[in-house]
Amino acid sequence: MEMEISSVKMLYKHLIFCAVQRCRMADYLCRLTVKLTPVSRFGLPLVRISVSDTGVGSKLEDYQYLKYRNDPILANQWDGMLYLATTSVSDSEIHNLNLNLKESNSVGTLTKLPSTAKNGAKFSGTEVSVSISKSLDDLLAEVTCFLQKMILLKVPKVVMELLVGGDDSLGSQIGSRILVIEGSSVYSPVESIKCLKLGLKDYVRKHQTRFSVGENLKVGTGVANSSGSSQGNSQVVEAVVIISEMSELVPSSCIREQDMKTEVLYFEDFVSCSIAQSSLDALTNINWKSYGLALRSIANHDGSVMLEWENLLPDFHIHIAIHCYHRQVKQWVAENSLPDRNLVRKAVKCALDDLKENNQGVLLSRRALKMCDYAPDLAKTLAQLILSSNDLNFQEECCSLLGVQSQEVNMDNVGNCIREKIISVIGLNDRNSQKNKEAPTFLFEDDCFQKEHFMEEEYHEGEEAYNFLDL
């Protein structure tokens, strides 16, 4: 399976991807380092990108399937040369190789260089480097942004760092710009979905300062697995959805058009990457109306996906993260496959349902929202019926069921209590999943009340039945 390198960004993303997989295959704590070093070749200023890891040794097959695209922009930035140094624990030496991806004959691209003796030392690791003709500042900004998204996953057993420096005068001037990437879960046995949840919450706190943080975030998670056994190399899709509310200190006039959009953070095998078309199709096929949302458009620019909403509340913002990975990493290159569209759709829906289940009044369907609009008038009518009755025992029983104390009985208190119960019943039944066909909740409910004579109705997605006790 060939992979065509079409840009510098795609190149260093792939090098980091390979390093992460080697670390995942190791059964010990690993370090992954990305270093940017200004160098000069034939009088031309370049930046050397070096990606090193202490995972299992690299295999040549990890890079021989790469294909260099014949593109003038790429040709001006990279000469197609890749330098590799790798060793396994069982090796007695470090293998040094050059790979020229510009050569059309893949057999003739490899050049073996003299090996380096390990002198009896037992360790493994790989370092891959390329030299790029690009601004150091621009490259640093790109790589930093990429790694900051990547640590959102808190990759198990991996500590990452980004280093910037060099031995010349230019390098000494920027030597202080050493960035240590935090957030690794190291040896923590925490489930991947929990790491994704914590990571996205941290990401929201750091990048959405205009919105509330901390416990005010409303979070939902979902996981979907392929039919393979838990011991096999089955595919797993995890999704996290977070809703943040704008701070009351921010006036509505400051709401930007960007706040009506949602960036989808997408990951495959613990690395941030461009979203797959199958996953994009899955997002398109979700019935967003059942969550009270109207999707206006999906924009996919250079792998970055933005969902634009038509009716999102002005003080709300939605965040979505999706992670697709394989349980086992063995022969990951050969087994790499596109994410299952149905799994992606199921995971996102589970996350939305989870968020809806644990946060009353959030993500109500359009039908439920329309019913809530009638709640104030209905509550007022019921309150008038109760308080206008000449039967004091009837009034007392109704107020008792509503939880209104005798000294608090008036039109406003009774009406507000009924309205809250109506909205609560609507929300409760709207959250019921398609599998849950239990009878809808009653507005008033007494322990002695016997639920009989129900009219069973067939459930349709997006349509729920709401029954209220006649007074």
439-469 per-position pLDDT tens digit: 455 555 544 444 444 343 433 444 443 443 3
Q: Which residue has the tokens 């979070």?
A: 219
**What tokens appear for 232 in the block?**
């096999």
Pick from 10-14, 320-324, 429-433 the range whose average pLDDT is largest: 320-324
| 373-377 CB contacts, 8 Å cutoff, 24+ apart | 375/419, 375/422, 375/423, 375/426, 376/415, 376/419
SS3 33: strand
Pick from 245-259, 322-336, 412-426 the range whose average pLDDT is largest: 412-426
DSSP designation for 151: G
Nearest to 196 by CA among 179, 183, 177: 183
Point out the least confidently predicted range of 62-71, 138-147, 240-249, 449-458.
449-458
SS3 243: strand
The verdict on pTM exceeding 0.85 is: no
pLDDT digits (tens, 9 = 90+) for 269-325: 889 888 888 899 999 999 998 888 889 989 887 667 899 998 787 778 899 999 998
Query: For the CA atoms of 266, 258, 180, 77, what is the dihedral angle to 10 degrees?
Result: 70
pLDDT: which is higher, 91 or 63? 91
Helices of type H across 315-365: 332-335, 341-358
d(CA 13, CA 364): 39
pLDDT digits (tens, 9 = 90+) for 142-185: 998 888 888 888 787 888 888 887 654 443 433 434 455 544 44
Spell out the residues 6+ positions from residue 63 whose beta carbon is closer than 8 angstroms to its own: 18, 82, 84, 99, 128
SS3 101: coil
Identify the pLDDT of residue 300: 83
Instruction: Determine what percent of the chain is predicted with pLDDT higher than 70.
Output: 75
**How far does Cα 151 stand from its chain's mean position?**
12
pLDDT digits (tens, 9 = 90+) for 24-45: 888 888 999 999 999 888 778 8
Helix (H) or strand (E) holding 21: helix 8-25
Spell out the residues 6+ positions from residue 299 whose beta carbon is closer than 8 angstroms to its own: 305, 306, 308
One-letter-per-residue 3-state SS of 209-269: CCECCHHHCEEEEEEEECCCCCCCCCEEEEEEEEEEEECCCCCHHHCCHHHHEEEEEEEEC
Pairing of strands 235-245, 81-87: unpaired
Has residue 249 got a pLDDT over 60? no
Has residue 424 got a pLDDT over 50? yes
Instruction: Determine what percent of the chain is predicted with pLDDT higher than 90.
Output: 26
**What tokens appear for 124 in the block?**
């493994």
- CB of 234 within 8 A of CB of 226? yes
